[in-house]
Amino acid sequence: MLSVSVGVAMIGLGIIWPLIPVYAVELGAGGTLVGIIIASFNVSRTLFSPFAGRLSDKLGRKNFIVTGLFSYAVISVFYVLPATAETLIIIRFFHGLTSVLVVPIAMALAADIAPKPKLGLYMGTLNMAVMFGLGIGPALGGMIRDHFGMDTAFYAMGFLALLTCILMMIFIPSDARRRGIQEIKKPVSIKKMLSHRVILGISLMRFFAASGQGAVYTFLPILALQLKLTSSQVGIILSANIFLIAFLQRPCGRLADRINPKYLVIIGTFASGLTVFGMPFIDGFMMILLLNIFMGMANGLSLPGGLVITGQLGRSMGMASLMSITDGAWSLGMIVSPILSGVILDVFGLSYVFIVGSLLILTGGVVVAFFLRDYTP
């Protein structure tokens, strides 16, 4: 039920994901302002995610997730109100703030209830639901915009968030009713977590990977506009990327339970970086789709490994606290990516956005290979 609930919520978030850059351009934003609008979502995630995780380790999981989902529904109404692109910065900031209460805390809850030999399977199952939701969302959002308009897409996000909130309230037991789970009342300090070699390596890798992958997820719709692709085609491309990530979560999660998960992280990160490098040198819907398929396969390999490593360490250091630290590192990369990419777009052109993004992902591969060279589960 946790997977179903979070998956439905992510469909709603995915609906507006490829539409925000286009919406901002329609409101008069240039490349740099588009980057700032996208980044504002992750500024609040980076600032508040560690604190939300620590509070969840002390106070429980369910109430945080329900509050975040209800806030999603409320925020969706505000998306249809802006008269200027600058107003979107504020809306995206508060949307990011509510989001830290949902997926990182849900991941911590899944890790709480996972038997030790099946941590990768449990984490992979929940992340599969998250990624399937994000994969369905862009295609659905593109079709909604093409046939019913932009406002309807935002209302659809709000409806799905509210539906998910109700599902969580009804079907997910309260923290007091969950049995056999050892809640950590005093999680390790953030400073001590970041001084841990493995956690630092995973966090840096997620920062660099997000900095590079954000270039694809943010500016692929702009590239598609130049190539005269429709919103529906953009949605299909992004959905194919995310669906492959989702499809690989359970099998790669099982694999991460059986071998050292660091190998999945390292191989997947390098493969993703090489795929992004080729994107500005191709043309046509089918070629862009093919490279996004390869990128999805690479990320589908790396994500379960990182989640398993985080979950293994989280049992002794504070599960939600550690999940939120790595989530904050990803969000920080998503702040850097759209702003840096927006500046590169305005100064050098769109092709260099993807080239620099590729180099950042490859840097993450080098970093994680160095910091996790001695890691064993």
Q: DSSP letters of 304-353?
A: HHHHHHHHHHHHHH-HHHHHHHHHHHHHHHHHHHHHHHHHHHHHT-HHHH
Short-list 72, 61, 91, 100, CA closest to 165: 72
Q: How far apart are CA 17 and CA 9, in angstroms?
A: 13
Is pLDDT of 18 > 90?
no
CB 51 within 8 A of CB 328: no
- Class (C level, CATH) for 2-172+185-371: mainly alpha
What is the CB neighbour count within 10 angstroms for residue 271?
Answer: 18
Q: What is the mean pLDDT of residues 91-117?
A: 86
Q: Return the pLDDT at 273.
A: 94
pLDDT digits (tens, 9 = 90+) for 342-356: 788 888 888 899 999
Q: Tell me the pTM.
A: 0.79
Is pLDDT of 370 > 90?
yes
Cα dihedral 302, 139, 92, 318 in deg (nearest 10): -30
Is pLDDT of 10 > 70?
yes
Is pLDDT of 58 > 60?
yes
CB 266 within 8 A of CB 365: yes
Q: Return the pLDDT at 178.
A: 60
- For the chain, what is the mean pLDDT? 85
Q: How far, in Å, are 81, 155, 161, 238, 324 from residue 148 at the CA level?
A: 17, 11, 20, 20, 37
Q: What residue ranges do the domains of the chain occupy? A: 2-172+185-371
Q: How far apart are CA 159 and CA 162, in angstroms?
A: 5
Q: How far apart are CA 369 and CA 366, in angstroms?
A: 5
Q: How far, in Å, are 59, 141, 167, 246 from residue 109 at the CA level?
A: 12, 29, 16, 19
What is the distance between the terminal CA atoms of the chain, rounded to a whole angstrom? Answer: 29
For residue 83, give the DSSP letter.
Answer: S
For residue 188, give the DSSP letter.
Answer: P
Q: Return the pLDDT at 260.
A: 92
Q: Return the pLDDT at 185.
A: 54
pLDDT digits (tens, 9 = 90+) for 215-264: 887 788 777 777 777 777 877 887 788 888 889 999 999 999 999 999 99
Q: What is the mean pLDDT of residues 333-348?
A: 83
**Local confidence band at 31 (pLDDT 50, 70, 90 cut-offs):** confident
3-state DSSP percent of the chain in helix, strand and coil, to 5: 85, 0, 15
**Local confidence band at 318 (pLDDT 50, 70, 90 cut-offs):** confident
pLDDT digits (tens, 9 = 90+) for 172-215: 887 766 654 455 556 788 788 888 999 999 999 999 999 998 88
pLDDT digits (tens, 9 = 90+) for 61-100: 888 889 888 998 898 888 888 778 888 889 889 888 888 8
Is pLDDT of 151 > 70?
yes
Q: How far apart are CA 106 and CA 327, in angstroms?
A: 12
